[in-house]
Amino acid sequence: MAKGHSRRLLGAALLVAALTSTAACSGGSEPGSSGSSGAPAPAAGQQAPAKTAAQLAREKKAALAKRRAARAAVAKKWGLRLTPLDAPAPPRTKPRITTRKGFETDGTGLPPVFTTVPTKEKIVFLTIDDGAEKDPALIRMMSELQIPYSAFLSDYVVSDDYPYFAKMRTSQPRGVALHNHTLNHKYLPGLSYARQKREICGMQDVIEKKYGERPELFRPPYGNYNEDTLRAAKSCGVKAVPLWAAEAFPDHMEWREWDRDLHPGDIVLTHFRGEEDWKGSMPDMIRRVMNVITSKGYAVAKLEDYV
């Protein structure tokens, strides 16, 4: 059938060439051939014996079970009470994010400020701020557990060990994103536009120079900002300003909402801190927050897939 089909095309090509003396045979149907050609020739490979739908489903189920078992073993190794849930596939197009009500400034066209990403999926996002504690166990734990997270770095605590965050950045197959949390962690609304710009854009430059990529996300220290903050951030490439809906500590959670609960798309904040600063290590904090997230039926997704 394929042979006959190509012979017919060849014939058509010769006919067209003879009639018009051009090579413009671009697949248009010549008179007399339409209706008689039937279905196009099958592509190579369509002839091969295909797996049945049932076989494919069985294989998919087995692979999933294997992945879940591996993740359960790693969760057990790191002392998690529950195995983290798998995040759904990222959306084909990112949701449109707008500034949360009550978080607006007078400026227009500025990067949106938000605490929750619009989604119906039972997912949350994990973000870790500042960068003081540089625990190698955190990087190992998160990459073995395959939990995505985003780090918002402040240069005054990061500069004594840039390589730690370089290692973090490449520790997971799809990367751990490093974002901007200013040079010196100042209360930005107390600074002039020029000084805010130095704090924010200076950190954009540091991250780009040290890690090869300019951040698109920026989080103001303490979550405090004004119109100048957002204008300055926009001027040096910031696209969005994610704040947080809940904050995780090694021994408790703090909630922004009255219902003291997680919601689809909530951004969870925590910090790079050690046992000198709070009641536990970084792995202790992750154990606790992951048990909260998983027991409420949520998976951790990658913030940069949605923002």
CA distances from 120 to 11, 88, 148, 227, 265 (A): 56, 11, 19, 30, 8
Selected from 215, 221, 242, 265, the binder of Zn ion by CB under 5 A is 221
- Please identify, among the stretches 15-23, 171-179, 213-221, 233-241, the one whose residues bind Zn ion according to the rule CB under 5 A: 213-221
Closest residue (Cβ) to Zn ion?
A: 129
Answer yes or no: are the C-beta atoms of 124 and 262 closer than 8 Å: yes
Query: Residue 188: what are its φ and ψ, rounded to 5°?
Result: -65, -40
Instruction: Please give the radius of gyration of the chain, using alpha carbons only, rounded to the nearest integer.
Output: 27
Give the shortest CB-220-to-Zn ion separation in angstroms: 9
Give the shortest CB-152-to-Zn ion separation in angstroms: 7
> Residue 227 or residue 247: which is nearer to Zn ion going by CB?
247
d(Cα 55, Cα 287) in Å, to the nearest integer? Answer: 38
Q: Map the footprint of Zn ion across residues 106-135, applying CB under 5 A.
A: 129-130
What are the beta bridge partners of residue 218? 180
Determine, following the binding rule CB under 5 A, whether residue 155 of this chain makes contact with Zn ion. no
Give the shortest CB-155-to-Zn ion separation in angstroms: 12
DSSP secondary structure code for residue 114 in this structure = E
57 CB-side CA count, 13 A: 3
> Residue 130 or residue 199: which is nearer to Zn ion going by CB?
130
Residue indicated by tokens 């012979």: 7
> Residue 122 or residue 155: which is nearer to Zn ion going by CB?
155
> Residue 129 or residue 199: which is nearer to Zn ion going by CB?
129
Q: Which spans of this chain sit near Zn ion (rule: CB under 5 A)? A: 129-130, 221
